């Protein structure tokens, strides 16, 4: 496949590569212009990023930042597998137009973070504060360089990055003139006690494990609860204790994960055995590692590093913070009139829908009792064509904030792969203010 040569320029302290005439390395047939390069965030860390303009009226289109989770999962990889203008064919080398592209009507920003994730370089940040601050620095530098993207911003985070985008919003609120309108949380690991409790409740209700195993899970949960409380800082938004968080995550995982996996269920999709999650994927792109490690692709991107989808060192260093309760940042966003949409799949065990609704209905801020209003809201079906995509409940508030929960039918942890049409539609509705 033919790729046009990228034009390179030095911008500030970042090397920027720009697509020519709208086409580019991530999708030669793309209408939207593509820009990519590095942003130096500290003396030792530089983050790789990409921006792709919307196919339709990019100067008027909203802009999303997309972070896929992990921690340590490359955001760049999702451009050619999930939501970019092109996806990979099965050979992992050839691109094709993506019918589920999120950049049809929106500008997109992708950042490989934290630490050495994806094409980024540098040591893994040692604290949550440093991690989110570096993300903030990269994001603000991108918007300074591309001010046309700072129209209406939506922060989107999946799994572990639900916390990243929520805490990023808190920093933006106090330090930057960025026009954030909403936060989209997908399969989010937030409200850890509610998520862990929800897993055990799910195991019981769906009879995923034996009665004896369930009893053991319930017993272990009391230790999990105490450990999670030890992980939390003295005040919301403070720095969590890394050693206590490490212990909490280990204790809570031991109470929830092995029993279900030993019974033959994937914690990412309860319909299948571990490792068989792709059975229910409606999209099956080629291997992004094949494409992103091709010499000609790396030359066009201006990189010289072996790309891996999930950096195991970053994951090992930061997964401990799964037990850190970051829901305070969602409350802060709502208090500031931000729209928040939380989406969870009905077949996801590890970041289950019941746990998500649990932490959501407990939130209370200075402007409103967000959780109580959401709990009292009616469940309404949301349709994609003639099919019910899921059930939705929502609360609206005088300060223009909205707080919405969607439980997606027939979807596990990987929402975009399980329900690409529905996720595209819901994302577009959210950006249009219809949710």
Averaged pLDDT of the chain: 94
Rounded distance, CA 211 to CA 276, Å? Answer: 26
Contact 61/107 with Cβ under 8 angstroms?
A: yes
Please state whether the peptide bond connecting residue 71 to the residue before it is cis, i.e. omega within 30 degrees of 0: yes
Q: 7-191+283-431 falls under which CATH superfamily?
A: Alpha/Beta hydrolase fold, catalytic domain (3.40.50.1820)
Q: How confident is the model at residue 173 (pLDDT cuts 50, 70, 90)?
A: confident
In the chain, where the domains are located? 7-191+283-431, 193-278
Please report the pLDDT score of residue 295 as a whole number: 98
Residue 411: which of 342, 355, 309, 343 has the closest Cα?
343
Please report the pLDDT score of residue 190 as a whole number: 97
Average pLDDT over residues 83-94: 98
Top-confidence residue, 15 or 125: 125
Please report the pLDDT score of residue 14 as a whole number: 47
Residue 50: which of 142, 121, 165 has the closest Cα?
142
Average pLDDT over residues 91-105: 98
Contact 123/115 with Cβ under 8 angstroms?
A: yes
Average pLDDT over residues 251-268: 98
Cα diameter, the chain: 64
In tens, the pLDDT along 354-403 reads 999 999 999 999 989 999 999 999 999 999 888 999 999 999 999 999 99
Residue 19 has pLDDT above 60, yes or no: no
Residue percentage of the chain with pLDDT more than 90? 91
Rounded distance, CA 423 to CA 416, Å? Answer: 6
Average pLDDT over residues 137-148: 97
Span between the terminal Cα atoms of the chain, in Å = 40
Q: How confident is the model at residue 23 (pLDDT cuts 50, 70, 90)?
A: low
Residue 12 has pLDDT above 50, yes or no: no
Average pLDDT over residues 328-352: 98
Rounded distance, CA 322 to CA 378, Å? Answer: 30
Please report the pLDDT score of residue 174 as a whole number: 81
Handedness of CA 385, 389, 395, 400 (dihedral sign): negative
Contact 290/92 with Cβ under 8 angstroms?
A: yes
């Amino acid at each position: 496949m033919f790729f046009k040569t990228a034009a390179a320029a030095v911008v500030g302290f970042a090397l920027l590569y720009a697509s020519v005439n709208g086409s580019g390395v991530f999708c030669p047939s793309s209408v939207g212009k593509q820009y990519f390069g590095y942003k130096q965030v500290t003396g030792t860390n530089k983050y790789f990023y990409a921006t792709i303009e919307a196919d339709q009226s990019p100067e008027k289109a909203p802009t999303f930042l997309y972070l896929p989770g992990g921690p340590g999962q490359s955001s760049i990889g999702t451009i050619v597998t999930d939501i970019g203008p092109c996806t990979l064919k099965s050979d992992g080398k050839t691109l094709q137009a993506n019918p589920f592209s999120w950049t049809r009507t929106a500008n997109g920003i992708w950042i490989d973070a934290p630490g050495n994730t994806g094409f980024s370089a540098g040591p893994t940040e040692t604290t949550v504060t440093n991690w989110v601050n570096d993300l903030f620095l990269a994001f603000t530098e991108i918007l300074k360089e591309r001010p046309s993207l700072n129209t209406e911003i939506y922060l989107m985070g999946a799994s572990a990055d639900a916390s990243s985008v929520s805490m990023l919003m808190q920093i933006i609120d106090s330090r930057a003139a960025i026009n954030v309108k909403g936060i989209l949380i997908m399969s989010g690991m937030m409200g850890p006690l509610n998520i862990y409790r929800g897993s055990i409740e799910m195991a019981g209700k769906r009879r995923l494990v034996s009665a004896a195993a369930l009893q053991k899970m319930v017993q272990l949960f009391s230790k999990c609860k105490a450990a999670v409380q030890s992980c939390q800082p003295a005040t919301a938004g403070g720095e969590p204790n890394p050693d206590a968080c490490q212990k909490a995550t280990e204790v809570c995982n031991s109470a929830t994960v092995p029993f279900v996996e030993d019974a033959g269920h994937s914690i990412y999709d309860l319909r299948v055995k571990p490792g068989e999650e792709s059975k229910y994927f409606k999209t099956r792109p080629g291997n992004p590692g094949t494409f992103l490690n091709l010499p000609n692709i790396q030359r066009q991107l201006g990189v010289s590093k072996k790309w891996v989808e999930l950096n195991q060192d970053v994951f090992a260093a930061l997964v401990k913070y799964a037990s850190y309760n970051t829901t305070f940042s969602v409350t802060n966003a709502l208090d500031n009139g931000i729209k928040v949409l939380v989406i969870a799949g009905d077949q996801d065990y590890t970041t289950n829908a019941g746990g998500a609704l649990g932490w959501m209905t407990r939130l209370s801020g200075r402007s409103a009792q967000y959780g109580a209003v959401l709990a009292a809201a009616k469940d309404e079906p949301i349709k994609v064509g003639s099919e019910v995509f899921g059930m939705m409940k929502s609360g609206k508030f005088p300060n223009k904030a909205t707080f919405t929960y969607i439980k997606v039918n027939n979807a596990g942890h990987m929402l975009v792969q399980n329900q690409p049409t529905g996720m595209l539609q819901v994302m577009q509705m959210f950006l249009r203010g219809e949710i």
